Amino acid sequence: MPPRHSPPEALLTTLSATRGRSDRLTHTEHLPARPARYAPWPDWIRPEVVASAQAMGVRQPWAHQAEAMNLAKSGQSVVIATGTASGKSLGYLGPVLSDLLVGTEARNGRGATALYLAPTKALAADQRRRAAELAPPRVRAALYDGDTPPEEREWVRQYASYVLTNPDMLHRGILPAHARWSSFLKTLRYVVVDECHGYRGVFGSHVAQVLRRLRRICARYGSSPVFLLASATTADPAVTAQRLTGLPAEAVTEDGSPRGPMVFGLWEPPLTENVGEHGAPVRRTATAEAAHLLTDLVERETRTVVFVRSRRAAELVALQTQDQLPRPLADRVAAYRGGYLADERRALERSLHSGRLLGLASTSALELGVDISGLDAVLMAGYPGTRASLWQQAGRAGREAQGALAVLIARDDPLDTYLVHHPEALFATPVEATVLDPDNPHVLAPHLCAAAAELPLTDPDLELFGPSAAPLLPVLERRGLLRRRGDAWYWTRRERAADAVDLRGSGGSPVQIVEAPTGRLLGTVDASAAHTTVHTGAVHLHQGRSYLVRDFDLDSSVALVELADPPYTTSARDITSISVLSTDTTVDWGEGRLSFGSVEVVNQVVGYLRKRISTGEIMGESKLDLPPRTLRTRAVWWSVTEDQLLDADIPPDQLPGAAHAAEHASIGLLPLFATCDRWDIGGVSVPLHPDTGLPTVFVYDGHPGGAGFAERGFQRAVRWLTATREAIAACECERGCPSCVQSPKCGNGNDPLDKAAAVRLLDVLLAGAHAAAEETGRDREAAQDGPDGRHGRHGRDGQAGPDERDGRDGRVAPTHVPDPTEAAQAAAEAADGAEAAARAVEREAGRTTDRPTDGSGPGAS
Ligand SMILES: [Zn+2]
Ligand SMILES: [Zn+2]
């Protein structure tokens, strides 16, 4: 057995050399050590700040930190998008604290102020500690969140110069009471938006409107703060920053922090003897494979953390590993399930650091709250969803000298499978962008109400809120929410307008899940997901335990459940139809076409299947009597002609399976380009769609009004559909499996699916795209950019990859300007929501997720 602390390379070789695993390691990436690049302290940084930083061991800033400091000082909004642990906070704290220090010399001791926003309370608290370490006590930093006692709040408003809070508190607490914050807002110099890649989708769109409200109020008090954003490395950080704040931002992306060497393995578990739906081969699960690898690593006394997606999986990996190890070693493996008390977390840290504990299986809860670094190896059972999380997890491994090992183990789905066979998607320029759509009228309407309640809205204000604002106002007036007097719009209700919107909700009141015998509330599920997940008879998993839904009461929005352990899972069957409301943009791809616009999706859950857990075999089907639901949202869709089908050798009987398979795989791959997950989006494929008159595949945002995901798909369509084609073609299964074209949330029971015809269909579509690109004189490279490539310009150094082009000069891809009738319709719905919410008591905050179903259209079933 190799000695303890084998170099990572040797460890990986050993793992793949034993037990017939030679073909599972699909790629080894050597990430060389990166030396530090330093820059001098800018001379305007206050000596007190430099002295505290030096006392903490920072002798000089890294180059990217100094670059960010100088941009901020020049009054330029800036987004720092560098790696984990690259000291982004010093980049913004340098200018913020220096200016606040200067401000303490003003007569009232508060000549300058700054606001810090974090997505969570915990992060804000952590940042307060950091600011306190760097700043002399006369910079008064204070937390302001739901836990701040009332007597302290007054002090914060009057005296604090650095206020740390979250967007929810800004929206509900600070902006509506801006008069009481006037002295703070008057001198507001900086707004720090930390972890800004977290502001994505509907939540991100809401936060973007909250920031616009903040900018409007500041302008009224005579201030115009500079925005300093910190982001994980993503594609187009400057574009995201501009969408979020509405201001042009400069991106700082050249990371000057040092990094130890790392060996990164990509790993694909083997196919098993088991068969799944329609006889498809299934792979060994990523968690089972992780348990095997963890066993080998612990035997070699390698300190390892395995990241999994659920608490149940954490327990399974720990148990399986313990079973596979001899006794004394088995006791050195544990599961971490989150929700631990501070003492327990510290004890866990100590055991890992001392080496008493060798193997830990954990949910990503570990990312917050436990300091684990300097491990020998990190295993990731399944792609954690974004590159930011991937690097955050992998970054737990590594001590300077030895280097570190990280292994990504693929789950049985198209995205993971694609990634372990396309390392460039992980290790080259990032392709995924943080996506949001602040112009969504459903998001905007309640913020216009909140803004009008803060200060009457005037016509010049509308520009700030974007092109959707003007058509919305008359609708909100007709609903009795706003009234125009003179040249301004006023909020007319007695209720607080800000209470009408929950930044983290996604519309509709959530369904409560109640345990039948005890009446205990187990949790909630989003209204949009309820029909498919908690219908009567559904098996519902909650924190690793399984429940059977006894009754789903639509009127009271309650699902009564009881603890049960049936030998099956359930999956809903539904019928989905989609119609095009308006088309914003269409691009001709040879004979084929690609479009983006507004759609109406009507979905009805009609029954469900029971599938035996052990074999995946269908045990039976039951009917359900649920009403259809309508969703108005944004979609990207593509069509091909009959001639193209002939060229691709796809006869009519293969078409439904080809389109359906292409749709499933494309939904699986979109998260590679936009920070969504496959449950945020849905799809419909139709052999002959009445609105296009052609075979058409739609992919739509699962949230009312859209969240920007479909739009990103439209912008990166060539790359996205090329990756989709690759994922299907490369899968070693014969006729389709969960790694390529089967979907875990298919409303049609994954039927029909035709893997081979799907590849031919995408080939003929993409051939049209490339031909069109050549015809219009654009090179193939530009075609890779998707339809918005023509808006882009090269980065300032002329070397930016295609994905970065439209970011550097601050130009943003055009967002939709809804046509007036559509906007009015959307606003009417949005206003209904605002009205209902205004009557309701303050809703409990908490992130909810939409789970749109996907399904083929009526003609495809
Ligand atoms: Zn397959
Ligand atoms: Zn499907």
Per-residue pLDDT tens digits for 63-102: 999 999 999 999 999 999 998 778 999 999 999 999 999 9
Ligand whose nearest atom lies closest to the CA of 659: 2
Ligand whose nearest atom lies closest to the CA of 668: 2
How confident is the model at residue 714, as a pLDDT? 96
pLDDT digits (tens, 9 = 90+) for 341-381: 667 777 888 888 888 999 999 887 655 556 667 788 999 99
How confident is the model at residue 838, as a pLDDT? 40
CA 659–ligand 2 middle distance (angstroms): 10
pLDDT band (50, 70, 90) for residue 401: low
| DSSP 8-state secondary structure symbol assigned to residue 854 | B
Q: Which regions of 32-107 does DSSP assign to beta strands (E)? A: 78-81
How confident is the model at residue 253, as a pLDDT? 95
Neighbours of 36 (CB within 10 A): 12
pLDDT digits (tens, 9 = 90+) for 618-653: 788 899 999 999 999 999 999 999 999 999 999 999
Neighbouring C-alpha atoms within 13 Å toward the C-beta of 635: 29
How confident is the model at residue 340, as a pLDDT? 67
What's the whole-number mean pLDDT along residues 763-790?
Answer: 68
The answer to whether the bond into 752 is cis (omega within 30° of 0) is yes
How confident is the model at residue 75, as a pLDDT? 96
CA-wise closest residue to 762 among 728, 725, 713: 725
How confident is the model at residue 842, as a pLDDT? 27
Element (H, E) at 191: strand 188-193
Residue 269 — φ and ψ, nearest 5°?
A: -65, 155
| CA 388 remoteness from chain centre | 10
Question: Residues 6 or more apart from 821 whose CB is under 8 A from it?
Answer: none
CA-wise closest residue to 370 among 336, 407, 395: 336
CA 223–ligand 2 middle distance (angstroms): 52
Can you tell me the distance from the alpha carbon of 5 to that of 8, in angstroms, rounded to the nearest whole number? 8
Question: Which has more pLDDT, 230 or 533?
Answer: 230
How confident is the model at residue 778, as a pLDDT? 53
How confident is the model at residue 34, as a pLDDT? 87
Is a pLDDT exceeding 90 seen at residue 691?
A: yes
pLDDT digits (tens, 9 = 90+) for 240-290: 999 999 999 999 999 999 888 899 999 999 988 877 778 888 888 899 999
**Helices 88-104, 121-134: inter-axial angle, 10-degree rounding:** 60
Is a pLDDT exceeding 50 seen at residue 791?
A: no
Can you tell me the distance from the alpha carbon of 533 to that of 541, in angstroms, rounded to the nearest whole number? 10
CA 741–ligand 1 middle distance (angstroms): 6
Tell me the whole-structure pTM to 2 decimals.
0.81
pLDDT band (50, 70, 90) for residue 525: confident
Q: Which residues surround ligand 2, an ion (CB under 5 A)?
A: 746, 748
CA 412–ligand 1 middle distance (angstroms): 9
- Of all residues in the chain, what percent carry a pLDDT higher than 90? 55
Ligand whose nearest atom lies closest to the CA of 682: 2
| DSSP 8-state secondary structure symbol assigned to residue 230 | E
Is a pLDDT exceeding 60 seen at residue 319?
A: yes
How confident is the model at residue 828, as a pLDDT? 56
CA 529–ligand 2 middle distance (angstroms): 16
CA 698–ligand 1 middle distance (angstroms): 22
Is a pLDDT exceeding 90 seen at residue 524?
A: no
CA 79–ligand 1 middle distance (angstroms): 40
Is a pLDDT exceeding 50 seen at residue 132?
A: yes
How confident is the model at residue 827, as a pLDDT? 55
CA 745–ligand 1 middle distance (angstroms): 16
Asked which of 100-114, 302-316, 466-480, 707-721 is least confident by mean pLDDT, the reply is: 302-316
pLDDT band (50, 70, 90) for residue 312: confident
pLDDT band (50, 70, 90) for residue 787: very low
- Of all residues in the chain, what percent carry a pLDDT higher than 70? 86
CA 138–ligand 2 middle distance (angstroms): 61
CA 664–ligand 2 middle distance (angstroms): 6
pLDDT band (50, 70, 90) for residue 491: very high
Ligand whose nearest atom lies closest to the CA of 660: 2
pLDDT digits (tens, 9 = 90+) for 444-475: 999 999 999 999 999 999 999 999 899 999 99
Question: Residues 6 or more apart from 63 whose CB is under 8 A from it?
Answer: 37, 38, 39, 254, 256
Tokens in use for 270?
Answer: 């083997």
CA 666–ligand 2 middle distance (angstroms): 11
Asked which of 125-129, 211-215, 261-265, 294-298 is least confident by mean pLDDT, the reply is: 125-129
CA 731–ligand 1 middle distance (angstroms): 5
How confident is the model at residue 659, as a pLDDT? 97
How confident is the model at residue 464, as a pLDDT? 95
How confident is the model at residue 812, as a pLDDT? 30
Ligand whose nearest atom lies closest to the CA of 268: 1
What's the whole-number mean pLDDT along residues 39-55?
Answer: 96
| Cβ atoms 506, 525 nearer than 8 A | no
CA 747–ligand 2 middle distance (angstroms): 6
pLDDT digits (tens, 9 = 90+) for 12-21: 998 998 878 8
CA 235–ligand 2 middle distance (angstroms): 30
pLDDT band (50, 70, 90) for residue 831: low
CA 729–ligand 1 middle distance (angstroms): 8
Residues β-bridged to residue 263: 30, 405
How confident is the model at residue 783, as a pLDDT? 43
Residue 559's SS3 state is strand
pLDDT digits (tens, 9 = 90+) for 535-593: 999 998 776 578 899 999 988 889 999 998 888 888 899 999 999 999 999 999 999 99
What's the whole-number mean pLDDT along residues 599-615?
Answer: 87
CA 732–ligand 1 middle distance (angstroms): 6
Q: How far is the CA of 792 from the CAs of 125, 431, 636, 784, in angstroms?
A: 39, 16, 20, 12
How confident is the model at residue 339, as a pLDDT? 62
